[in-house]
Structure 1
Amino acid sequence: MAFFRGLTAVSRLRSRMDLKSQLRELIPEQQDRLKKLKSEHGKVQLGNITVDMVLGGMRGIIGMLWETSLVDPEEGIRFRGLSIPECRKVLPTAVEGGEPLPEGLLWLLLTGKVPTKDQVDALSKELLARSTVPAHVYKVIDALPVTAHPMTQFTAGIMALQVESEFQKAYGNGLPKSKLWEPTYEDCLNLIARLPPVASYVYRRIFKDGKSIEADDSLDYAANLSHMLGFDDPRMLELMRLHVTIHADHEGGNISSHTGHLVGSALSDPYLSFASSVNGLAGPLHGLANQEALLWLKSIIQETGSDVTTDQLKDYVWKTLKSGKVVHGFGHGVLRRTDPRYLCQREFALKYLPEDPLFQLLSKLYEVVPPILTELGKVKNPWPNVDAHSGLLLNHFGLSETRYHTVLFGVSRSMGVGSQLIWDRALGLPLERPKSVTMEWLENYCKNKAA
């Protein structure tokens, strides 16, 4: 009997450590919470929508539920209520005093709870066990010209994974709507697990003569991504842990997150939903900005030399702006202060690469660009954002192929989009269908309002 009691205790312990079991406990409570919110406060007005908001990309319109993170204009991103500095303090790490493990952030995004190191280690092993990529996925990628953009090849790989969708099978078999979150969970965990081998295959195919590298069973999620890319410097492993963590989510209004939510609201499976996210991420005004920021830094050095003066920098910034271009890496649609993601990357750079010429140049630009953008008068936030630093750091450790950098952003963003999609299904969120109007409608409305 003692033996069986011991097995039961172990089973209960595993249940508490298992991520899906925790979700099964949390979901009914959150479903009731949403019903209460609708019934008690559904008619509460959230402010007035202006014509500027309609014409300006819906900026500032509150119109989406996104549980996993929230961006405060002054404080920056909070993952389930925790700021980036707080996450770096409380989330488990691979090395003492190191950067947080992305698996820990995934747990936090899904449950709202800070996981233990044992829970994170168990999740790392689960993701590794799910990470086998079917052979047909690589064949689909290989069918593309090797010159195809890395994001094109990455998206093709995600779409090829879609034939494995558990959600598609379950929906086709008539699974009740209340249980659709479960196959969504399976798809999202499988997708997150398989993105590093797909992403690294794309990199090695384009830039390393197609010589791929197998995963290392002893490594965590982000470290394995770095290893399969071909970078095993311990500092690069730490950078990849930081990179994946801070790029994972940024509330629901950005293009990649919003697109995934929009497509998912049609009950498209997670692979279709996330492929749409990646396509949005590939735009130069979103994820591709990290590439543009690094290229802009390099162009400064090419034109002025490494010993650039403050006056030369000012002239170059004004030259960029007057040519009709933007200064990539500065400004943000929501934030009104320096992006905390920039600050934690700057802290990393000061620790590991203080003498890097590009980092020193960016440090000078931190003092030069904001006053110029403020003087210009068109930018509400002149401060640097996450894109200013991310490409620079990858470049320092040898991942200098700027065309590829956004793929790593995509791997990271899967955790935020996937976590929210699971909760979209669990809460039964409806099809997204905002109302659009014509310019004539707006003109007539404004005339009637004035009258």
Structure 2
Amino acid sequence: MSKPSYSKGLVGVIAGESAICTVGTGQGLNYRGYNVNDLAEHSTFEEVSHLLLYGHLPNKRQLEQYIRRLANFRQLSTAMRAVLEQLPGSSHPMDIMRTAASVMGSFEPEDENPNNEKQRNNQWECGDRLIAIFGPALLYWYQYHKNGTKIETRTGPNDTVAQNFVKLLLQTDNPDPNMVRAVDVSLILYAEHDFAASTFGAIVTTSTLSDVYSSVCTAIGTLRGPLHGGANEAAYRLISQFKTPDEAEQGLLKLLKEKKIVMGFGHRVYRKGDPRSPIVRDWARKLSEIINTPYAKNLYAVAERMEQVMMREKKMFTNLDFYASIVYHFCHIPTDFFTPVFVIARTSGWVSHIIEQRQDNKLMRPISIYTGPDPAKTPYVPIDKRLERSKL
């Protein structure tokens, strides 16, 4: 019998319907119909989060209320602070994010509705609380273990997620507005991307009728991998290896000759360029000019040369992660915080898909093509007759 065909990595497999996002369908990247370029230019992350979670862009009054709502959720509970203080300072920041979600799920669980599996009474609030708490939790842990400081995580009542994050990170009440806006735009660009690996992971967990927090923990674990969320960290570590554009060109040519993966280039879905990349590239260039130091200008020049070489040699374009890593570095965000910032943004998309999955749920249960021993030729061997064997 011929071996059944399948799609390795589920490439091209349609796993469901969604009204949330279009990716690479000829219409670019759109959130609920709105083009990401327009959102990045004219909106804030709070507007985009509201759009994804609640289905529409807020008006001015709704936006003001939503910003204050998120601000009110930033106060860490005594239990959360105690857990963050007990976690080792050497922990991976993504472990902090996953733990924060678990703590929230334990002390402020989702309100189950036994009469309606399609909707839980406070599923939207759970999403808002996670979006609001992730940055403060990460930075409370960071400042406590780095400086021995127990910081107040609520800043101004009208502060955006980006403002709050930069203020807590840099411990200043007056952060550079350009840095705040750059972070804000990055959150918009990272907020949603259809059935990406982490989102699909959250959907699989949701399909079992699990709670929001469990689904988000699944997503965080998936995002941690270097082929998904960790790609921005890997991209910066690659870029920062090179001291000059010429050195970067020679280094890239060597990597290509050795057939090594070059992080920050290409995309699983996009074939003609990542529509988010030009937006974040402009911000990387703008920040390099604002900072206006030889180091900043050279770092941007190195990244730019790498982009040129990859396009010339492999016809590969940069993805969002490549220049986002430069933007985050210019905003003084530690490299191992790049993916946690991704978490803050993508939580809006994850919870939107969790809510959507519940509306027409079907347990995810694919099948595999078995490639193991033939059961007909594999008789059971009693323990006293089994030979010592090496590991597989």
Match of 1:78 in 2: 30
User: After the TM superposition, which of the residue ranges 261-270 and 156-165 deviates more from structure 2?
Assistant: 156-165
Match of 2:212 in 1: 270
Match of 1:133 in 2: 76
Q: Secondary structure at the match of 1:435?
A: coil
Assess if the C-alpha contact under 8 Å between 1:203 and 1:404 holds in 2: no
2:311 to 363, 366, 370: 370
Match of 1:227 in 2: 167
Match of 2:269 in 1: 334
Post-superposition Cα deviations, 1:130-155, rounded to whole Å, max 9, x if no partner, equal 33322212222322221111111221
Q: Secondary structure at the match of 1:190?
A: helix
TM-score in terms of structure 1 length: 0.74
Paired-residue identity, %: 24
The 3 A distance-change label for structure 1 pair 358 and 74 is farther
What is the alpha-carbon distance in structure 1 between the residues aligned to residue 147 and residue 266 of structure 2? 35
Listed as ranges, the matches of 1:13-162 within 5 Å are 51=5, 53-54=6-7, 56-72=8-24, 76-89=28-41, 91=42, 100-162=43-105
What is the alpha-carbon distance in structure 2 between the residues aligned to residue 350 and residue 246 of structure 1? 17
Are residue 203 (structure 1) and residue 142 (structure 2) matched? yes
1:406 to 326, 339, 352: 339
Give 5+ residue unaligned stretches, structure 1.
1-49, 92-99, 375-381, 442-451
Task: Tell me which amino acid in the other structure corresponds to 1:109.
Answer: L
Q: Secondary structure at the match of 1:353?
A: helix
What is the alpha-carbon distance in structure 1 between the residues aligned to residue 248 and residue 237 of structure 2? 15
Q: Secondary structure at the match of 2:283?
A: helix
Give 5+ residue unaligned stretches, structure 2.
374-392
Match of 1:170 in 2: 112
Task: Tell me which amino acid in the other structure corresponds to 2:126.
Answer: D
1:438 to 345, 349, 370: 370
What is the alpha-carbon distance in structure 2 between the residues aligned to residue 364 and residue 371 of structure 1? 10
What is the alpha-carbon distance in structure 1 between the residues aligned to residue 255 and residue 24 of structure 2? 30
Are residue 390 (structure 1) and residue 324 (structure 2) matched? yes
The 3 A distance-change label for structure 1 pair 264 and 317 is same
Assess if the C-alpha contact under 8 Å between 2:48 and 2:188 holds in 1: yes
Task: Tell me which amino acid in the other structure corresponds to 1:397.
Answer: C
What is the alpha-carbon distance in structure 2 between the residues aligned to residue 322 and residue 243 of structure 1? 33
The 3 A distance-change label for structure 1 pair 82 and 218 is closer
What is the alpha-carbon distance in structure 1 between the residues aligned to residue 141 and residue 199 of structure 2? 23
What is the alpha-carbon distance in structure 1 between the residues aligned to residue 282 and residue 134 of structure 2? 28
What is the alpha-carbon distance in structure 1 between the residues aligned to residue 89 and residue 95 of structure 2? 11
Assess if the C-alpha contact under 8 Å between 2:233 and 2:339 holds in 1: yes
User: After the TM superposition, which of the residue ranges 110-119 and 241-250 deviates more from structure 2?
Assistant: 110-119
Assess if the C-alpha contact under 8 Å between 1:154 and 1:202 holds in 2: no
Aligned residues: 360
* Greater percentage in helix: 1
Post-superposition Cα deviations, 1:332-375, rounded to whole Å, max 9, x if no partner, equal 0000122122111112233332353211211122211123224x
Q: CA deviation at 1:207?
A: 4.0
What is the alpha-carbon distance in structure 2 between the residues aligned to residue 152 and residue 120 of structure 1? 31
Runs of at least 4 residues of structure 1 off by over 6 A?
none
Assess if the C-alpha contact under 8 Å between 2:40 and 2:188 holds in 1: no
What is the alpha-carbon distance in structure 1 between the residues aligned to residue 216 and residue 177 of structure 2? 30
